[in-house]
Amino acid sequence: MGLSPDEIRARIAAVDGWWHSIELAPGIVTPGGKSADVLRDELAALRLDDLALAGKSVIDIGAWDGFYSFEAERRGAARVLALDHFVWCLDFAEAGRQREARTAAGLAPPDYDDIPSAWRPDLLPGKRGFDTAREILGSRVESRVGDLMEIDPAELGTFDVALYLGVLYHVKNPLEALRRLARITREVAVIETQAVVLDGFESFALCEFYETDECNGDPTNWWAPNEKALVGMCRAAGFREAKLVVAKPKEKLPRQRKIQHRLTGEPLRQARPPVPYRAIVHARK
Ligand SMILES: C[S@@+](CC[C@H](N)C(=O)[O-])C[C@H]1O[C@@H](n2cnc3c(N)ncnc32)[C@H](O)[C@@H]1O
């Protein structure tokens, strides 16, 4: 669009908060909460090379500033749709103020949906980053404001590849989310999610539940499945197979202590705390 580097920098600075670090011109990168290094590592971990995106239709659910949508386009996808609603509608500054007020009053952090003054679907304050990046990149990525949990999947249509990155643990009903994901996926869904190792319980399909903001201080995080639950939920939702491409944390699990029953002397296992990590699944139809 013929903007000078200074004009591009000014357009970037005019956006109130970036989540993704996106190179919009040589050497000019948006100041995302997720650094360029983190995104490079995340991207490599997704193993998109295995999916050959060229010529395919792709939906990026929970696209935010669109780093992965633009990456799919860069890899030659024929059509890319960026879908989001939550952060696009949210006025983060107002949500932060309301949250601080609740915390100061000794109350649990609010569910952001319950802060009417921070919910601005009329202005879409959180979509300015996506729109700015799209325009400067000269991108053809389409966007749609919508909640996967409410849109009629038949109306959304189907896509060869669905990216579902960093979203599953934000939904209150993850099995229904995966069922909807399966409905709109033709070939493969890439699911990146908060997960847990529950040492000693690997043969059970279990999820850890977060009542408020125990997971990363974010009250919108609800669930973290273990590996068996994640794979099982994908299959129950309508995917033929679910393959973990990143499994289990690299760091060592905390050491388990041997303890004895105080009265009988019987050896007991003291449960290790859940170990959080980020799992990535390629779920195929
Ligand atoms: C942690 S961010 C991940 C952003 C991006 N996918 C990434 O991996 O960097 C979660 C995103 O999912 C979006 N989101 C959460 N629930 C959603 C839903 N039901 N439908 C569409 N988007 C949703 C949020 O608005 C937010 O943009």
Residue 33 inside a domain? The answer is no
Residue 37 inside a domain? The answer is no
For 76, residues 6+ apart whose C-beta sits below 8 A from its C-beta are: 53, 54, 55
Q: What total number of domains does the chain contain?
A: 1
Residue pLDDT tens, the chain, 285 long: 589 999 999 999 999 899 999 999 999 999 999 999 999 999 999 999 999 999 999 999 999 999 999 999 999 999 999 999 999 999 888 888 888 888 888 887 677 777 888 889 999 999 999 999 999 999 999 999 999 999 999 999 999 999 999 999 999 999 999 999 999 999 999 999 999 998 888 999 999 999 988 888 888 899 999 999 999 999 999 999 999 998 666 566 666 666 677 778 777 666 678 889 999 999 999
Residue 26 inside a domain? The answer is no
Identity of the residue numbered 223: W
Residue 38 inside a domain? The answer is no
According to the model, what pLDDT value does residue 149 have? 97
Mutation test residue for ligand 1: of 81, 86, 119, 181, the one with most atoms within 8 Å of CB: 86
Q: Which domain holds residue 120?
A: 54-284
What CATH number has the domain bearing residue 154? 3.40.50.150
Whole-prediction pTM:
0.91
Q: Which atom of ligand 1 is closest in space to residue 150's alpha carbon?
A: 19
Tell me how far the alpha carbon of residue 39 lies from the centroid of ligand 1, in angstroms: 15
According to the model, what pLDDT value does residue 10 have? 98
Strand partners, 230: none
- Ligand 1 atom 14: residue of nearest CA: 62
Residue 73 inside a domain? The answer is yes
Query: Exposed, middle or buried, 26 (CB in 10 Å: 0-12/13-18/19+)?
Result: exposed
Ligand 1 pocket by C-beta < 6 Å: which residues? 34, 61-62, 64, 83-87, 147-149, 165-167, 170-171
Any idea what DSSP says for residue 150? T
Residue 14 inside a domain? The answer is no
Helix axes 67-74, 128-137, angle to 10 degrees: 20
According to the model, what pLDDT value does residue 256 have? 60
Look at strands 267-269 and 258-260 and give their pairing: antiparallel
Residue 83 inside a domain? The answer is yes
Tell me how far the alpha carbon of residue 263 lies from the centroid of ligand 1, in angstroms: 51
Residue 7 inside a domain? The answer is no
Show the DSSP H helices in the chain as ranges.
5-13, 36-46, 67-74, 86-89, 92-104, 128-137, 153-156, 174-184, 227-237
